[in-house]
Amino acid sequence: DARVTQTPRHKVTEMGQEVTMRCQPILGHNTVFWYRQTMMQGLELLAYFRNRAPLDDSGMPKDRFSAEMPDATLATLKIQPSEPRDSAVYFCASGLEGQVNNEAFFGQGTRLTVV
C-alpha cells in the first residue's frame, strides 16, 4: 500500500520549543513538497525537493524554519523556535518528476499547536 507517511499526526508544544515533523515519501518518488494549511492563508507551499536537493524554499520563514532530506526515505521540517503563529496543519506530498501525467500524493498531515 504505497502512501506518504507523516509523523506525528498531532503535536502540541510550548512557544520557543523546537518542533520536528517527519515525512516518508512513497518509495521511488523523487520530489517532495511541504505545504502549510491555515484558516487564513489556505494551503501554501513552503518548500520542495528534487532528488533530495532543495529546489525552492522561498515560502519558508528562513530564520526559524528549515527543511532537509537526510536520505531518500525521509524528509524533515523543523521549526526553532516555534511561535503561536506557526500553529497549522503541515502536509508533505511526494511525486515522480518528469512524467506528464504524474501527480503529488499527500500524507495525512501533522496538526501543530503552539501554545
Return the number of the residue (80 or 113) whose C-beta is nearest another protein: 113
Distances (CA, A) of 27 to 14, 18, 58, 59, 64: 34, 28, 26, 26, 29
Closest distance to another protein from the beta carbon of 44 (Å): 8
Distance CA 83, CA 94 (A): 27
Return the number of the residue (30 or 81) whose C-beta is nearest another protein: 30
- Residues in contact with another protein by the rule CB under 8 A: 31, 33, 35, 42-43, 45, 48, 50, 55-56, 89, 91, 93, 95-100, 102-104, 106, 108-109, 111
Return the number of the residue (19 or 47) whose C-beta is nearest another protein: 47
Closest distance to another protein from the beta carbon of 16 (Å): 26
Closest distance to another protein from the beta carbon of 57 (Å): 12
Of 5, 36, 26, 9, the residue nearest 94 (C-alpha): 26
Return the number of the residue (14 or 56) whose C-beta is nearest another protein: 56
Of 56, 113, 53, the residue nearest 79 (C-alpha): 113
Distance CA 82, CA 114 (A): 7
Please report where in the chains the cell 494551503 appears, as a residue.
43
